[in-house]
Every structure is written in C-alpha cells, then in structure tokens.
Structure 1
Amino acid sequence: MNNEVKTFREAILLVLHTWRAASAFFFSIELWLMVGVAAATVGGVWLAFMGDAWSLLAFGFSIGYVVARTVLHVKRILNWPFI
C-alpha cells in the first residue's frame, strides 16, 4: 500500500481508514484497564511518596490486575498477543 499523501483529502481519508482499522482496540475494555493500571501505579507511587496508606490500595489493584491477566493468558481465556 502506497501511503504517499499528496492532498489534504487523502490525508483525511488515510486517518479515517487508520482509525477504523484500530477502533476495535481503542474501544476495548482491555485498553482502558491498562490505562487504569498505569494511572493507579502513578497514583500509588505519588501516595507512597506522600506517606499515605491509600497507596497500598492502588498498588494492590495494579498487581492484582497483572496477576489476573497472567492467569487468564495461561488458561487461554485471553488471546491477546501481548502479556
């Protein structure tokens, strides 16, 4: 596929085509869980730095998600190409 874009219209069409191809991933719960784990990890580090015990809850969510995802991959319930 030649992706040489010469006009603004071709650029818009290429962006729309790319979005449609990737929309299944962007709308998946898996992506939003990964974003949530990243936010919980950053928040947990910040709370731990501030000396707040709520950091344990944030770290527990992050670690629990990674463990649950690994178990689901091992049992072949999830078939994503990455762990």
Structure 2
Amino acid sequence: MNSEATTVREAIALVLRACRAAMPFFLSIETWLMVAVAAATVGGFWLAFMGDLRSLLVFGGAVGYLVLRSVLHAKRILGWPFV
C-alpha cells in the first residue's frame, strides 16, 4: 500500500483509514483498564508524596490488577495484546 499522500484530500483519507483501523484497539476495555491503572499509579505516587496512607491502597489495586491480568492471560481467558 502506498502511504504517500500528494494532496490534502489523500492525506485526510489516509488519516481516516488509519483511525478506522485503530478503532477496535482504542475501544477495547483492556486498553481503558490499562489507562486507569496508569492514572491510579500516578495518583498513588502523588498521594505518597503528600504522605497519605491511601497511596498504599491505590498501589495495591494497581499491582493487583496487573497480577490478575497476567493470570487471566496465562489461563487464556484474555487474549494477549499486540501479538
């Protein structure tokens, strides 16, 4: 496939095709759970910096999700992403 766009119309069409191809990934629940874990980790670091013990709860949830996700992948309940 030729990915060079010579006009603005071709560039827009190329961007739209790429967005349509990537849409299932961005709409997957696993992607949004990973984003939520990343946000919780940042929030946990902020709480730890502020000296709040709730940071331990946030870190525990983030680590628990990562362990649970790995176990579900190993049991083939979830599919491996990016493979």
For normalisation by structure 1, the TM-score amounts to: 0.93
Residue of structure 1 equivalent to 2:68: 68
Say which structure, 1 or 2, has more relative contact order (CA 8 Å, 6+ apart). Answer: 1
Does 1:51 pair with 2:54? no
Offset at 1:81? Answer: 3.4
Matched residue count? 82
Q: What root-mean-square deviation, in Å, do the aligned CA atoms of Structure 1 and Structure 2 show?
A: 1.0
Tell me the SS of whatever aligns to 1:2: coil
Counterpart amino acid of 2:14? Answer: L
Distance 1:81 1:26, change over 3 A: closer
Distance 1:68 1:39, change over 3 A: same
What are the Cα deviations for residues 35-82 of structure 1, in whole angstroms up to 9, with x where unaligned?
A: 000000011011111100110121011101100001001101111235
Counterpart amino acid of 2:69? Answer: R
Residue of structure 1 equivalent to 2:42: 42
For normalisation by structure 2, the TM-score amounts to: 0.93
Counterpart amino acid of 2:6? Answer: K
Aligned identity (percent) is: 70
